[in-house]
Chain A
Amino acid sequence: NAGVTQTPKFRILKIGQSMTLQCAQDMNHNYMYWYRQDPGMGLKLIYYSVGAGITDKGEVPNGYNVSRSTTEDFPLRLELAAPSQTSVYFCASSYGEGREQYFGPGTRLTVT
């Protein structure tokens, strides 16, 4: 199993541009999550999904959107990139609520 995969690894955006961060998992997990990690801070939850077709906001959802059309994929969309969205983004999945989460390798995004 590849586990949780994320693309791209790195990206530089100009203010106002949009992009989609891709996330896929091959563990047949129902639950998937998007986090952002800023220097010296823990992980902040952006959005999560409990199954295909179901998504919900986390702690810091403003400026982001998600969709979950399949069990495997959970893309994160930035519509109008802002410097405050410069961060490292991690996708994670788990097989049940409250169970251990498995993380992807991350996407480092810079908005200038």
Chain B
Amino acid sequence: AQRVTQPEKLLSVFKGAPVELKCNYSYSGSPELFWYVQYSRQRLQLLLRHISRESIKGFTADLNKGETSFHLKKPFAQEEDSAMYYCALRAGTYKYIFGTGTRLKVLA
């Protein structure tokens, strides 16, 4: 079955604290994984993709095929990181599967 699981609906952290948003996937092929973010009153936008191995806004995500995970991490959370975060799996030539999303709240 093709599935993306984000176990936490809400994650609250204090400013400056580390953040880890969990994502697990189920896919029989070679996974292609993304993180999308939706800030308040804005559209869904790409944050990062696993192939890039880049750090965007201080966020990184490593694909762990053994654990079928693609957790999103940031060492020091900022208030402007507060948003809805969606993990997504490309599950076919034209189809992406999204997780249910995790709302990150960074408290002052």
Real complex partners, A and B? no
Residues of B in contact with A (beta carbons under 8 Å apart):
none
